[in-house]
Each structure stands twice: as C-alpha cells, then as structure tokens.
C-alpha cells in the first residue's frame, strides 16, 4: 500500500482540481456572485476578489480569517475520503488526537496562507511528535469570479508537506488576548523538510526553513 505522502504527490493534480470545485461552491463565492448581480450596472464584468474584499470587508486581514477557516475545513473534510478512494486505510476523526486516523496512527492537518501555519499555546499535540500534513496556499486576488469559473481555478499556488513523527518549533507565548503560535522549522532541518515536500519548494533561510508556494 502506498504511503500518504506518495499518494498525495502522485495525485496532486486531481486533489487541486477537486479542491477548486469545492471552493467554487462555497458560501464566500455565492456571496461574491450575489454582489456581482446586484452591482452589474456599475461593474458589468464583476469584481475581482480584491475589489470585493475592499468593498465589503474594508481590509484584507478581516476577510482572510474567514477564507482561511473555509479552506481549512474544506481540506479536512475532503482529504480522508480522497485518500480512502485511493486505497489508503484512513478515516476522518476531528478529535483532540488528530484530524484523520490511519490504522492506529493519528494525523494532524493544518493549512494556512502565510509563511507558516498556526498553532495554539494550549495544544498538547504541538509539544509532542506529530504526523503532520501541512498545506500553505493562496488564491487569485486579481481575477473576477467569471474568470475563476471559466478556468475552474480558485487556488493560485500551494506548498504541501507530509511529515512523519516530527516535532515542530512552536513560536509564541500565551497572553491574555492571544494563544496563537506559528509552527516553524529551524534551518538545520532543511533536509527533513525537503524530504517531506510533495509540492512546492523548500529554501534554507538564515534562521528558518522557508516553504515556497508554486503555481497550480
């Protein structure tokens, strides 16, 4: 039986296509469609995503929280069933032990749009060895919804890594108004990250390993 890492690498095009289809049916896209219909007299070709966000959210940071939650949940709900269809013995779990279970092994699935994925200071999982699927991604901010629907591409670029039994460098301290951390890898773990990478590139920076997204 092929490993999860091998299955994702060998089926990356199908996975990305499936995710695009899921995202193009999401509530955010449905809202975007309604705004385009409402404003077609003043914006006949529709808004780009960046224009939509500026008009209704004001600043991109407010919107990207919603967008990040949407992508994360879409991916978590999708991946176990895709892997199952490819012959992998996995089931979704969504418990404190992990998001997916392969036999007796739990997997954590984390996604994000930034340079690093986020964690939490109160999470005991981050202090122990993890089986981690890390997905960094971004979307097409400068295209209209009509263009996205024509090309069937919501996702612009990705970096995907599959780590077995690793301990991440959790950066961040708990405070009264923040319990978020970033999960990073120091530069001396470059080879480990290269081995884990199934899509995108890995770069060794002065302090940390950088996960470079590539077009999909």
The domains found in the chain, sorted by start residue, are 4-215 (3.40.600)
Q: Model confidence over 82-132: pLDDT tens digits? A: 999 999 999 999 999 999 999 999 999 999 998 888 765 445 555 689 999
Look at the pTM and tell me if it is higher than 0.85: yes
Residue 5 has pLDDT above 90, yes or no: yes
Per DSSP, the chain holds a count of helices (H) and strands (E) of 7, 12
* Pair 93, 102: CB distance under 8 Å: no
Average pLDDT rounded to a whole number, residues 41-52: 97
* Pair 181, 119: CB distance under 8 Å: yes
Residue 110: φ, ψ to 5°: -130, 135
Distance from C-alpha of 99 to C-alpha of 96, rounded to nearest angstrom: 8
């Amino acid at each position: 039986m092929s490993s999860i890492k091998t299955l994702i690498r060998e089926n990356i095009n199908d996975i990305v296509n499936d995710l695009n289809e899921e995202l193009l049916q999401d509530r955010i896209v449905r809202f975007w469609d309604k705004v385009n219909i409402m404003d077609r007299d003043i914006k006949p070709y529709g808004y780009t995503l960046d224009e939509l966000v500026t008009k209704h959210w004001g600043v991109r940071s407010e919107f990207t929280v919603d967008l990040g939650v949407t992508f994360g949940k879409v991916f978590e709900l999708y991946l176990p069933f895709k892997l199952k269809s490819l012959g992998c013995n996995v089931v979704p779990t969504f418990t404190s032990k992990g998001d997916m279970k392969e036999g007796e092994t739990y997997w954590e699935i984390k996604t994000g749009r930034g340079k690093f994925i986020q964690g939490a200071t109160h999470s005991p999982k981050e202090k122990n060895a993890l089986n981690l699927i890390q997905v960094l991604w971004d979307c097409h901010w400068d295209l209209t919804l009509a263009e996205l629907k024509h090309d069937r591409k919501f996702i612009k670029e990705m970096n995907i890594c599959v780590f077995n039994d690793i301990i991440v460098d959790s950066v961040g301290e708990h405070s009264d108004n923040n319990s978020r951390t970033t999960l990073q890898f120091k530069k001396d773990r470059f080879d480990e990250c290269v081995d884990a990478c199934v899509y995108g590139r890995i770069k060794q920076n002065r302090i940390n390993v950088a996960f470079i997204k590539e077009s999909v």
